[in-house]
Amino acid sequence: MYSIDLNGKNGVIIGVANDRSIAWGIASILAQAGARLALTYQNDRVKDRVTKLADTLDGAITMPCDATDDSQVEEVFRQVEENFGEISFLVHSIAFANREDLTGRFSDTSREGFRIALEVSAYTLLPLVRHAAPLMPGGGSVVTMTFNASQRVYPGYNIMGTAKAALEHEVRQLAAEHGGQNIRVNAISAGPLDTLSARGIGGFQDMKRQHSATAPLGRNISMEEVAKTALFLCSDLSSGITGSIIPVDAGYHIMAV
């Protein structure tokens, strides 16, 4: 019988904001499996909140990281190398779009709003992997978070759907590029979850009701289900999986109506 034991494994979780964030759900279950973690937070506004969460995990460290700032990204991995030496996984769980670009007409998205959404939600994966890969000499796993709006139109999701489509293509590109180093790159396409960022999506509650009514399992998903999938992808049990988008949405993605 297989079980997942991450004792002796180290990893970096990018994007913890509070105890309801997907990044924290993933961090919690990875820590329960024995992994030692470095958690990053965006700025001082959430520093105390994230630090208190990290204090509940054995051996966890925290550090600031605005992933759009190359110098901060470089400093994070300098500190990670100093504290951990090597890492086995990286979890990228950050996304952002201006509120005004998540309402109204998609064609009214501003040039600056388009740039911000794509830079934060998609581009940031590239420098993070670039710095993480040298700390994975024996191979490792990269996991990022996407959503079905990369392939379908969700009213109110607007520019974020475009950003998620870009992110999914990056997953395939990075998987091909780093496969020779035995570094796997995958994404979890989660159904709607009650996170802080979800509150900025117009019609989010309607989206949840539609998912529950349409999904073959007849319900929405839980944070734990997403976290358990991340645990699988960060472990050796998924050693043959890379470049994949793994749906965790109670089967919603297979339905036409």
Q: How many CB atoms lie within 10 A of CB 108?
A: 11
Half-sphere exposure (Cβ direction) of 208: Cα atoms closer than 13 Å:
14
Q: What amino acid is encoded at 193 in this protein?
A: L
Q: Which residues are catalytic?
A: 157, 164
Burial of 214 (0-12, 13-18, 19+ CB in 10 A): middle
Taking alpha carbons only, the member of 107, 117, 143, 112 closest to residue 201 is: 117
Q: How many CB atoms lie within 10 A of CB 208?
A: 16
